[in-house]
Amino acid sequence: MRNPRLWQHFEKIYFDITKTKYLQMGCWREGDELNVKNFVAAQERFADTLVGFIPEGVKSILDIGCGVGGNALKLKERGFQVQCISPSTHHEKLFKENTRGEIPFYLTTFEDFRSPQKFDLALMSESVQFIALEAGFKNCREVLRDQGYLLTADFYKKEDVPEMKRVPCYRLDDYLPSAAQFGFQLLKEKDITAEALPTAIWSWRLFDEYVKPFIDEMPLIVQARHPWVYRAVRLYLKRRSPQQIVGLGGRSIRPDVFAKYATYRIFLFQKRNVS
């Protein structure tokens, strides 16, 4: 279990460095230099790609696991009626700052979320892995209108291997059958593994350039005056990957492992009647 205060500190480093309103890996172009400017551009490109998946006629959207508001702002700019949920009080604060309180936000898990409104589309952008499969699909059926849509974007394990044991994501071979079981028909998909991979590579570099020096040069006064704080921080950092620490989607996967054993997919499903 991660320490909320320390996690917020490292998320602050991430936001201070990138100046972004997104918590997602992005879609890089081939040949892009790995830097902050291109990372933020990749995130914007990713958000535009998601919007491109939204079918005609969709007006109301529930953004599930909305992060700090980047996608919600994009959707609002495109004329959609957006409501958002997240269980993070830290993200709630940043979300309301980024959106100026203009987009409805509910502090809750999706499993516990209830609404009298039926939405045209539910969006899960890099939040699939944090929601229990059965409970998630069941509640999607509850919050969506008849023939409503589920749009998801996340990465999945291609197979169970030791290198992927601690990576917080589902097997693709488990996710798609589960969607079908709960009456969600796959309409469209896109594999963006290659476009997302540079973020995994860059996050390792970001760790080496920004976070590791901070760890190595932690002031002696902290060690002397607050030894328990120093030990706690060191232990926390020791147990986490560079991607987890810098906050790039909370990923705990090496770039070489991501490229070999993971697949990043965007899926558009439609809710169908089930017998």
- CATH code: domain of residue 180: 3.40.50.150
Q: What percent of the chain has pLDDT over 90?
A: 68
Please tell me the total count of domains within the chain.
1
Q: Is residue 10 part of a domain?
A: no
**Averaged pLDDT of the chain:** 87
Q: Is residue 211 part of a domain?
A: no
Burial class (CB in 10 A: 0-12, 13-18, 19+), 267: buried
Of 198, 216, 205, 196, nearest in space to 246 by CA: 205
Q: Beta-carbon neighbour count of residue 198 at 10 Å?
A: 22
Q: Is residue 202 part of a domain?
A: no
Which DSSP string corresponds to 199-221?
A: HHHHHHHHIIIIIHHHHHT--HH
Q: Is residue 242 part of a domain?
A: no
- 222-255 tens-digit pLDDT: 555 556 655 666 665 555 554 444 444 434 578 9
Give the burial string for 62-76 (b: 16+ CB within 10 Å, else e). bbbbbbbbbbbbbbb
Q: Is residue 254 part of a domain?
A: no
Q: Is residue 231 part of a domain?
A: no
Q: Is residue 47 part of a domain?
A: yes
Residues 6+ apart with CB under 8 A from 24: 43, 46, 47, 67, 70, 71, 125, 126, 153, 249
Per the structure, the complete domain to which residue 57 belongs is given by 33-193+261-271
pTM across the whole model: 0.86
Locate tokens 């509640």: which residue?
Answer: 139
pLDDT band at 274 (very low <50, low <70, confident <90, very high): confident
